[in-house]
């Protein structure tokens, strides 16, 4: 396929033809909250093994997509009403969040969610609830401290008294304590200074390349996410309107105009952009 940036129905984030079943595949899901509010209107995406995939767009359904994958919709009175989600080809709709953690899929929720009264180390230990082997837990803790030296320094500090960046690192570190294959990371940059965001993303990239952890990253910070991701999907109003290799998206004129603060000052809908309309016609 010559087209660099394709529409959602035709995408294939993996550049190697030999790549087989993606780690996670979302197939045309619809999600409804409170029985009436249709939020996802047929979302499809693929997360290949050992990749970093970014899910971009503002208020567009990113969190809902992550919740659908990790089966956290019930607590929000939401449900998947159409389509399906597979983990290595197997449907996962009936697996609880805890069962998914056991299979290596763990979510770091938006807003960091550390236990304020626990120390950093106690917070990290809560992430090992699916593991029983003490040696393995200790090794995981050392690994987390190795990737996040700041957390080691702050291990005995109460989480409430640590910085936003340290709390985000703690939330990611806690997820790592379950030895995941895949981390769904919701808005890690939220409220953090650019330098700290860079530090966090750098560690994510390191975990991806050295520990082979796959990441699905929901981010409003398009610039930063595209800098570190391999592939990106842009959502608008519950649909994926564009997808492509992260480097291609970062250089795409429409993306620059809408999300990277370059180009005209008036923000239109992605649907008004000529090239988007053109792509749509091709598929019609
Ligand atoms: N629990 C809920 N009940 C009803 N509507 C919801 C619920 N959660 C989200 N929504 C609605 O679904 C739409 C998508 O929300 P979602 O949080 O998935 O998007 P997002 O891309 O993560 O947003 P943000 O960029 O603000 O993080 C929004 O219109 C939101 O109001
Ligand atoms: Mg969100």
Average pLDDT over residues 164-191: 95
Average pLDDT, the chain: 87
What confidence tens digit (pLDDT) does each residue in 188-226 have?
Answer: 999 899 999 999 999 999 999 999 999 999 999 999 999
Report yes or no on whether pTM surpasses 0.75: yes
Judge if the beta carbon of residue 60 lies within 6 A of ligand 1: yes
What confidence tens digit (pLDDT) does each residue in 89-142 have?
Answer: 999 998 999 999 999 999 999 887 789 999 999 999 999 887 788 999 999 999
Q: Are 228 and 240 in contact (CB under 8 A)?
A: no
Give exposure, 20-58, as e/b (b: 16+ Cβ within 10 Å).
Answer: eebbbbbeebbbbeeeeeebbeebbbbbbbbbbbbbbbe
Judge if the beta carbon of residue 37 lies within 6 A of ligand 1: yes
Judge if the beta carbon of residue 244 lies within 6 A of ligand 1: no
The pLDDT value recorded for residue 243 is 96
Judge if the beta carbon of residue 189 lies within 6 A of ligand 1: no
Please report where in the chains the tokens 């105009």 appear, as a residue: 257
- Specify the residue with its C-alpha closest to ligand 1, atom 27: 59
The pLDDT value recorded for residue 254 is 86
- Specify the residue with its C-alpha closest to ligand 1, atom 14: 61
């Amino acid at each position: 396929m010559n087209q660099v940036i394709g529409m959602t129905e035709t995408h294939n984030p993996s550049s190697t033809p030999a790549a087989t079943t993606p780690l996670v595949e979302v197939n045309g899901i619809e999600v409804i909250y409170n029985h009436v509010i249709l939020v996802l209107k047929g979302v499809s995406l693929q997360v290949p093994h050992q990749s970093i995939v970014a899910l971009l767009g503002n208020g567009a359904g990113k969190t809902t997509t992550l919740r659908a994958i990790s089966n956290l919709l019930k607590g929000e009175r939401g449900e998947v009403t159409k389509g399906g989600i597979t983990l290595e080809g197997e449907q996962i709709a009936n697996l609880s969040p805890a069962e998914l953690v056991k299979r290596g899929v763990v979510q770091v929720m938006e807003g960091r969610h550390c236990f304020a009264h626990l120390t950093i180390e106690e917070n990290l230990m809560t992430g090992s609830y699916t593991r029983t082997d003490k040696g393995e837990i200790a090794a995981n803790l050392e690994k987390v401290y190795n990737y996040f030296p700041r957390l080691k320094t702050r291990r005995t500090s109460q989480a409430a008294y640590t910085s936003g960046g340290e709390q985000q690192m703690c939330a990611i570190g806690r997820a790592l304590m379950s030895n995941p294959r895949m981390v769904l990371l919701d808005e890690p940059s939220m409220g953090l200074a650019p330098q700290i965001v860079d530090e966090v993303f750098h560690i994510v990239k390191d975990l991806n390349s050295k520990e082979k952890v796959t990441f699905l990253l929901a981010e409003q910070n398009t610039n930063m996410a595209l800098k570190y991701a391999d592939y990106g999907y842009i959502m608008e109003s519950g649909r994926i309107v564009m997808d492509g290799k992260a480097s291609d998206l970062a250089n795409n004129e429409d993306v620059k105009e809408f999300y990277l603060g370059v180009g005209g000052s008036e923000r239109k809908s992605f649907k008004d952009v000529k090239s988007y309309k053109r792509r749509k016609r091709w598929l019609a």
